[in-house]
A and B are shown apart, each in its own frame.
Chain A
Amino acid sequence: MNTNLKISNVTKIYPGCVANDDVSLEFNSGKIYALLGENGAGKSTLVKILSGVVIPDEGKIYLNKNILKLNSPSDAKKNDIGMVFQHFNLFETLSVFENLIIDSDEQRENLKEKIDTIMKKYNFSVDLDVPVLNLSAGQKQKVEIIRCLIRSPKVLIMDEPTSVLTEQETSELFLSLKKFSEEGILIIYITHKLKEVMQLCDEVAVMRRGKLVSVSQINNENIESLANKMVGQDLKTIKKKKENTSSEQLIKITNLNFTSEDPFETNLVDINFSLNRGECLGIAGISGNGQSELFQVLSGEIISNKNSIEFNKNFIGDLNPQERREYLMAFSPEDRLEQAAIPQMAIFENVALNNFKSSNFFNNGLINESKIKEHSKKIISEFNVNTNNIDLKSQFLSGGNLQKLIIGRELITSPDLLICFNPTWGLDVGAINYIHETLIKINEQNKSIILISTDTDELLKLSDKISVIHRGKLSKIMNAEDVTSEKLGILMGGGN
């Protein structure tokens, strides 16, 4: 049976921002639709309206010509609209099966049978009895998808589903989605990744600042045309100039080990590498293979053997992050709002947290507010952070602006080494471009970068040397020119 979903003149206004401005769209089953836009373009609000999480101020939704009243998520479920959220809606401490049975009206045995059928049909394999927190991101997403499929949905909405997936998992997901589409499920795919739209979708709708700017067949578009529509201006392509890097060694890691007491963490086994000035070392890997532990060991959040880290001819393995900063190291952690900044504190206060002996932010234990504010303003203007208000709480900055602020805070002291972990995670094209340009600039100033990232395109673009982390072990260091994304994919999966 054909499914027709129609959004008609939907408007949703939040204080200070029009999230959806008179949006009208129509979808038919048998096709995969992309909803494309930068962060804050209003895609998420629109799909939250479709899934009953958000109620629009104006406008109507029709399913097969019948008007839909979506006042709560259960209304959407009743009308066979399934949704997989970007931030998983799972209960971490409950088992997979408990997560699935909680919103099902079926008997235990029936449900188990149904899940088995679905898993066989689509070749999913997830252990039903383990708690969700033990699963990888890809598996968690499968649980979410199974949860939707149990209800045999007419419409399946995927909100930025690949932001946490590996390349392998992404292609598996695409295969499944194509299969669902062939079976008559209408698929709406929300993303800001252009490559995915080209690979997967049949039609694409682009949103910008709450407005629908275009709807077109994918055959009439290419990556550049979509990018320009999305950003609203022409994007310049950036490329790293291959320069002669110096041969002066900056950091050397020798036999670095970390054994965790927490069963959910990965142990690091015998890490060895060195990096010269002006170089960027990329560390690839599927998330959860020891990246966050490696970042913590390198930044000093986890202290290790003094001699295992030699930086600028000093042994600093036993120093904490603040002490390492004094030796001109800088850090940009993965989780911007939890690790890099304190959400409830103002921008300038977050800047002050990164204090140096030389910064004079504090006099005899008292805060030198004017000094900090002056310093913050400098960061904001130099690093293009889009706000004038340094008293703003950092939680109100968009991901891109917050990341610029953090990178700016780290770089303004011109450190010799910047260690960053997924610096462009979840950012839109414009912000990613800016961060990439900034990182290339650092290398050009003969400063070094260790870039831990799950985004292989990013690594290939920025790195001089690349290594892969798998189950806490580092592969041998390769020259970036000799590496392809296929080769990285094999190493990331544990192959040779």
Chain B
Amino acid sequence: MIVDINFVGLIIASIMASAVPLILASCGELITERSGVLNLGVEGMMIIGAISGFALMTVTGSLIIAVFGAMLAGVLISTIFAFLTQTLITNHVATGLALTIFGIGISAMIGKNFVGIPGKEFPVLFESLKDTIPLLSPILFGHSIVFYFAFALPFITSYFLKQTKIGLIVRAVGDSPESASNQGINVRLVRYACILYGGAMCGLAGAYLSMIYTPQWIENMTGGRGWIALALVVFSTWNPIKILIGAMIFGGLTIIQFHMQAIGVRIPVQFLTALPYIVTIIVLVVISRDSRKIRLSTPSSLGKSFHKDN
């Protein structure tokens, strides 16, 4: 059997494309969690981003307004979460779950008018280079700007956390909000900022789905990707580079099992569908086994409310 090498390249590119929303949402949630806030509303923020992006694109016709509008929508919905958990000191878990339910509901309501409307073509970069190098060309060239941003993001996030002062402050707040507060750091402000940033990234992840990956609006189109993104953050032990690995494995197995189903491999469909979830978690658990590193990268105050009293 002769395998066209460019076909392999295309499969890899499609795996990467399917990993994009996971990487964006996970890296956003990672910053939120590193500051000690557990926001389970990722799925809700993504779907809000998806409908906002698609609706703004249809209404205004401008892709730029649509993309930034989706991020803004993510910021706005996460502001609700931030206000509730940081100002009114509500429970992170319950508030995050409510946010997801709210997001799914409101997106379906807004989305009613946009079902069946075709999307717009999103411009891609370096298209002229698409046929220059075998195998690598389809992987490297001809993708949207969001695609390139997503693959740079884990490295940017890692650099931000390790090398910048603000990154250090975020980690410090996640480690011990009490100490940070006694050091004169405004814990609430840092956590607000991290929550809003997480919201923006989830909004962008949603916009990628409805505007680039499958350019149309379908109700509930995030299809649990928000939950996978959340799981990636935890199983990567809050390490952005491992998020990239996890998202690629998940995306890869999702694509491959589709092909296996298409070819008619005699494995139960249910097992094939479950495969990406199982394998991703196993791989991440195995590569993150070092208990010392887990201790050092786990935000100790994760999910705990901080209330400064005088």
Contact = CB atoms under 8 A, between A and B. Distances in A.
Contacts of A94: 168, 171-172, 175
Interface string B163-206: 00100110110011011111111000000000000000000000
A77 B183 CA distance: 9
B291 to A, nearest CB: 6
Interface in A25-75: 51, 53-55, 72-74
A213 B210 CA distance: 72
B295 A133 contact: yes
Nearest to A12: B310
Interface in B231-245: none
B310 A55 contact: yes
Majority DSSP secondary structure for residues of B touching A: helix
Given A73-B183, A77-B184, A102-B183, A91 B291 contact: no
A310 interface: no
A200 B244 CA distance: 57
Given A85-B182, A261-B291, A93 B296 contact: yes
Interface string A197-225: 00000000000000000000000000000
B179 A91 contact: yes
Contact of B291 (A55, A73, A98, A263): A263
A103 interface: yes
A54 B182 CA distance: 10
Contacts of B180: 91
A262 interface: yes
B292 interface: yes
Contacts of B178: 89
B182 A89 contact: yes
Give the contact-size bracket for chain A. Answer: 20 to 34
Give the contact-size bracket for chain B. Answer: 20 to 34
A138 interface: no
Contact of B184 (A74, A91, A93): A74
B305 interface: no
Interface in A117-137: 131, 133
A74 B186 CA distance: 10
A128 to B, nearest CB: 14
B188 to A, nearest CB: 13
Nearest to B297: A93
A102 B296 contact: no
A103 B184 contact: yes
Interface of B: 165, 168-169, 171-172, 175-176, 178-185, 291-292, 295-298, 300, 310
12 contacts: A53-B182, A73-B181, A73-B182, A89-B176, A91-B172, A91-B179, A92-B176, A92-B300, A93-B171, A101-B168, A133-B295, A263-B292
Interface of A: 51, 53-55, 72-74, 77, 85, 88-94, 98, 101-103, 131, 133, 261-264
Counting from the closest, the 10 A-B pairs by CB-CB distance are A74-B184, A89-B179, A91-B175, A73-B184, A91-B172, A89-B182, A93-B296, A103-B183, A93-B175, A263-B292
